[in-house]
Amino acid sequence: MTPLAARSIAGLFEQMTGQQLASTRRWRIETVLQPVMRKHDISSLDMLAGLASQPGSALREDVVEALLNHETSFYRDLPVFKAIADEMLPAIVPARPGKRLRIWSAGCSTGQEAYSLAFIFSNQNGRWDDWQIDILGTDVSPQAIAQARNGCYSQFEVQRGLPIGDLIARFEQEGEDWRIKPMLKARTNFMVHNLLEPPPPGRFDVILCRNVLLYFSAERRRAVLDRLASAIAPDGMLILGAGETVLGQTDAFTPDPQLRGIYRRTGAA
């Protein structure tokens, strides 16, 4: 693959998703696009780069899908979920007399993060029985969202981070796979969404956008954070990945003075 083709594919990926893929990482481009080439009977990556530049083609969508990183797991970075259950929810609940919470898992991949949030509410011994809990998971990948909606995971996927108690209580076995029980699926919704576009309608009490902004340019990162600020409740909370921060990135959020790793809209009480 020529450097020009590598730059073309990386440019297409950033244009479609906002995420940067260094053209020097030719090994990743060449490896993940081999199945796409076989599917479309294309003999070289240089030819692929030229054909994928055509807007609206199925090939273009397949190239972007193949380059996306779907790395995720249940309860990924467990201390974050402990903080949500033990600190964040108790802090936000008194300000919700209407007993409704809306949570947005942005960049949810195949849905494990959104379902892990649903498990938190289910695990708290009926405390939330009279609450309306709405959990929305979004991702730029149609294939990832299709699996999230299906709620079916392989043995390997459920073994990554999921306690055996949750597996038994929250899933039904189907052959060698495991499906989320209907009661938990009812609390979650999923939709394809690009963070470069306006956010889903309404205001969210909690937004998780973890390990996504790492791949954005500084300009796009700031634009996404500003969009998240427009979608969060005045007293809502934003959670980023462990290697991400709002400091030096945006004026829309500031760190919460009490809760480590949590960000609030600037000026929020």
pLDDT in tens, the chain (269 residues): 677 888 888 889 999 999 988 656 667 788 889 999 999 999 888 899 888 887 878 899 999 999 998 889 999 999 999 999 999 998 888 999 999 999 999 999 999 999 999 999 998 878 898 999 999 999 999 999 999 999 999 999 999 989 999 999 999 999 999 999 998 999 999 999 999 999 999 999 999 999 999 889 999 999 999 999 999 999 999 999 988 999 889 999 999 888 888 999 997 65
Asked if the domains 3-67 and 78-265 are classified in one and the same CATH topology, the answer is: no
**What ranges do the domains of the chain cover?**
3-67, 78-265
Q: CATH top-level class for 78-265?
A: alpha beta
CA distance 109 to 139: 6
Predicted pLDDT of residue 107: 96
What value, to the nearest 5°, has the Cα angle with vertex 134 and ends 153 and 121? 70
**What is the value of pTM for the model shown?**
0.92
Predicted pLDDT of residue 24: 60
CA distance 151 to 149: 5
Give the right CATH number for 3-67 from 1.10.150, 1.10.3470, 3.40.50, 1.10.155: 1.10.155
146: CB partners within 8 A, 6+ apart: none
CA distance 96 to 86: 17
Whole-angstrom Cα Rg for the chain: 20
CB 227 within 8 A of CB 199: yes
Predicted pLDDT of residue 190: 98
Predicted pLDDT of residue 157: 96
Predicted pLDDT of residue 7: 85
How distant, in Å, are the alpha carbons of 136, 207, 237 from that of 84?
16, 11, 10
| DSSP SS3 for 95 | helix
Dig out the tokens for 259 from the structure: 């809760």
